[in-house]
Amino acid sequence: MKIIYLDIDSLRPDHMGCYGYERNTTPHLDSIAEKGIRFQHCYAASSPCVPSRASFMSGRFAVNHGALTHWGPGYDFYYPEGDGHSKKYPFFTRYLREADYKTVTFSSFGDRHHAWWYFAGWSEVHTHTLKEGNENADEVISKAIPWLEQHGKEDNYFLHIQLWDPHTLYTSPVEYFEKWRSTPVKEFPSEEIIEQHQADSFPRSARFLHTIDHFPATMPSTIKDRNDYKHLIDGYDGAISFMDEQIGKLLNKLSELGIEDEVCFVISADHGESMGEQGIYGEHASATESVHHLPLIVRVPGVTSPGTVYDGFLYNVDVIATITELVGLSVPSGWDGSSYLPVLKGENIEGREYLVMDHALYTCQRSVRDERWYYIRTYHPGLYRFDDVTLYDMDHDPHQTKNVAHDYPEIVKEMNHRLALWEQEHLGYPRNMVDPLQKVVETGPWKYVTLDQWVNHLRKAGWEEAANQLKNKFAQHDEVSSAYGDTPTIR
């Protein structure tokens, strides 16, 4: 079996044609979806990049693999001690090799995030540039195509290709940004909502979209109104459409090789992106719907029925378990994922009743999502504006604009109970692991932008009152705020 996994950073499903987007951003990805299954409700168990891809490699939730942030406390990837590799907790890539699969990655992720565990088990690792994730899709695909020319007709390979284009700063050629000039954007956020966001003073807010002085023309300097918002979305969609065009070159190569009908495709992302939700623009800073909702397309020739849509809930770790069973291996007992292979075969099975998700890079949060409700418990807001307890009615408020926790105390109680059960299951005896989320709560989620840096940034911008409020709010963290890194830019 030939498997190609397209791993696309920061890609929102609602910016893809196959998920109903009005703009024709992804015709080549859509063509793959037409021949396979589109999953409507796939979610990252943990966000952002490091915890999500640590789950990809380990098959475990971040609470179990330990890497829930990007460095410092809470970044301690857990793996059983000893010289040998665990059969209970195998790395996904090592495990595939037990089924005689050649495992190959074209990705600069391990280099960007200093992640030793990312390199475990690959037959081949191609970093293709030293840009640490700042390369565009043409630089990646141009290196993957020669590999396919040499090895594409072989059998039993898992080819992982990571593409970064939808991640800010949207560095695709400017003509891909300009192609959307006459095309309108979605109604959310409205002019009224953007006006309300002018009072926000956190990173990636409407008034503080950047913490750097130089950025490409594909991004606005601030979000003052709907025109600026369109500028942001045009840049994001331009990056997506440029990437999709490069994927088209990959598909053409498969056709030239005569194997286009033999290749299995899995298309997904590490996380999504906030585009005005909670007042955050172009960032993945919370355990919210816009950040955790992922695209997932699976095409397996001879197995999946063209144009199928699955509505059940599943995690990204379930995707890893499904691939594992697809190649004939059993799902390891130490993994947290469950196989959805029956869905690929056309069986009607139920998804998960609810999902528990977390984030600990910019904020410290856990959320619970079911068919109607989205509950968020904020343990540390970081530099952002979140209530301690938040409940959204997704049926009536899909953009998560109104906290209705006070209106539905019984729902809050039930969601909090679900969260407590989940925490007891994953943190209780006999494992007794330290919760990585609490490690970040203790030291504060001050990574790419520290508390002191942001206070100074606000003061330089003339926002003295906001700076003082923030400084007073976290006065006890003054010494801790600069102890774990001093990087002035958001990545």
Q: What is the mean pLDDT of residues 292-317?
A: 97
pTM reported for the whole predicted model? 0.95
Residue 377: pLDDT over 90? yes
Q: Which of 128-137, 176-185, 242-251 has the lowest mean pLDDT?
A: 128-137
Give residue-wise pLDDT tens across range 15-36.
Answer: 999 999 999 999 999 999 999 9
Q: What is the pLDDT of residue 479?
A: 46
Q: What is the pLDDT of residue 429?
A: 63
Please indicate whether residue 82 or residue 377 has the higher confidence score (pLDDT): 377
Instruction: Kindly tell me the sign of the dihedral angle through the C-alpha atoms of 278, 282, 283, 284.
Output: positive
Cα distances (Å, whole numbers) of residue 411 to 357, 407, 416 = 17, 9, 8
Give residue-wise pLDDT tens across range 41-88.
Answer: 999 999 999 999 999 999 999 999 999 999 999 999 998 777 778 889
Residue 481: pLDDT over 70? no
Cα distances (Å, whole numbers) of residue 315 to 2, 271, 426 = 23, 11, 16
Residue 478: pLDDT over 50? no
Other C-beta atoms lying within 10 Å of the C-beta of residue 155: 10
- Which candidate, 156, 160, 101, places its Cα nearest to that of 127? 160
Q: pLDDT band at residue 487, thresholds of 50, 70 and 90?
A: very low
Residue 29 structure tokens? 């990805």
Q: pLDDT band at residue 431, thresholds of 50, 70 and 90?
A: low
Q: What is the mean pLDDT of the chain?
A: 94
Q: What is the pLDDT of residue 211?
A: 81
Q: What is the mean pLDDT of residues 313-333?
A: 98
Q: pLDDT band at residue 172, thresholds of 50, 70 and 90?
A: very high
Q: What is the pLDDT of residue 489?
A: 40
CA distance 208 to 221: 8
- Which candidate, 161, 154, 381, places its Cα nearest to that of 286? 381
Q: What is the mean pLDDT of residues 229-258?
A: 98
Burial class (CB within 10 angstroms; exposed 0-12, middle 13-18, buried 19+) of 225: middle
Residue 327: pLDDT over 80? yes
Give residue-wise pLDDT tens across range 93-146.
Answer: 999 999 999 999 999 998 888 898 999 999 999 998 888 888 999 999 999 999
**Residue pair 385/396 in contact by the 8 Å Cβ criterion:** no
**Residue pair 334/62 in contact by the 8 Å Cβ criterion:** no
The full 3-state SS of the chain, as one line of letters, equals CEEEEEEECCCCHHHCHHHCCCCCCCHHHHHHHHCCEEEEEEECCEECHHHHHHHHHHCCCHHHHCECCCCCCCECCCCCCCCCCCCCCCCHHHHHHHCCCEEEEECCHHHHHCCHHHHCCCCEEECCCCCCCCCCHHHHHHHHHHHHHHHCCCCCEEEEEEECCCCCCCCCCHHHHHCCCCCCCCCCCCHHHHHHHCCCCCCCCCCCCCCCCCCCCCCCCCCCCHHHHHHHHHHHHHHHHHHHHHHHHHHHHHHHHCCCCCEEEEEEECCCCEECHHHCEEECCCCCHHHHEECEEEECCCCCCCCEEEEEEEEHHHHHHHHHHHCCCCCCCCCCCCCCHHHHCCCCCCCECCEEEEECCCCEEEEEECCCEEEEEEEECCCCCCCCEEEEECCCCCCCCCCCHHHCHHHHHHHHHHHHHHHHHHHCCCCCCCCHHHHHHHHCCCCCCCHHHHHHHHHHCCCHHHHHHHHHHCHHHCCHHHCCCCCCCCC
Beta-bridge mates of residue 283: 274
Residue 83 structure tokens? 């010289």
Share of the chain above pLDDT 70, in %: 96
Residue 485: pLDDT over 60? no
Q: pLDDT band at residue 476, thresholds of 50, 70 and 90?
A: low
CA distance 231 to 208: 15
Q: What is the pLDDT of residue 76?
A: 92
Q: What is the pLDDT of residue 25?
A: 98
The amino acid at 240: I
CA distance 39 to 291: 17
**Residue pair 264/299 in contact by the 8 Å Cβ criterion:** yes
